[in-house]
Amino acid sequence: MDGRVLPVLLGITGHPPQTYRIPVPAPDGGPPTVLVYRRAPRARSTRTGLTRGWKYLYDPTGQAGRRKWPWSKAAPDPDATPKGKPDDADG
C-alpha cells in the first residue's frame, strides 16, 4: 500500500467490512495481484467484553473469512455409487 488513508464505509450495523480486497497493479503491466485483509478485534473491554476497535490483518491465503454456503458444495460425481445402495443392483 502506498500510505494513503482511505475512508471506511460502514454497514447498516455500524461495523466496517469483514474483508478488504485491494488490487495492486503489476509493474510489467500483467494482471493485478489482489491482497486480502480481514477484520480482527483490536481489544476487548474488561468490564463488558465488547470489542473496543478493529484492525485489519493480512491474509496470505485469501480464503479466511469467506462464507461457506450450504448450497455451494462441489457437484457430486455422476459415476459414483449413491450412498446406501450396493454396487450390483441385480443380485
pLDDT value for 73: 63
d(CA 26, CA 32): 5
pLDDT at res. 79: 64
Average confidence (pLDDT) per 10 residues, the chain, 91 residues: 70 83 86 88 84 85 67 63 59 52
Give pLDDT, residue 13: 84
Look up the pTM and report it: 0.56
User: CA-based angle 71:75:76, to the nearest 5?
Assistant: 120
Q: What residue segments make up the domains of the chain, in order of their start?
A: 19-63
Q: How far apart are CA 38 and CA 35, in angstroms?
A: 10
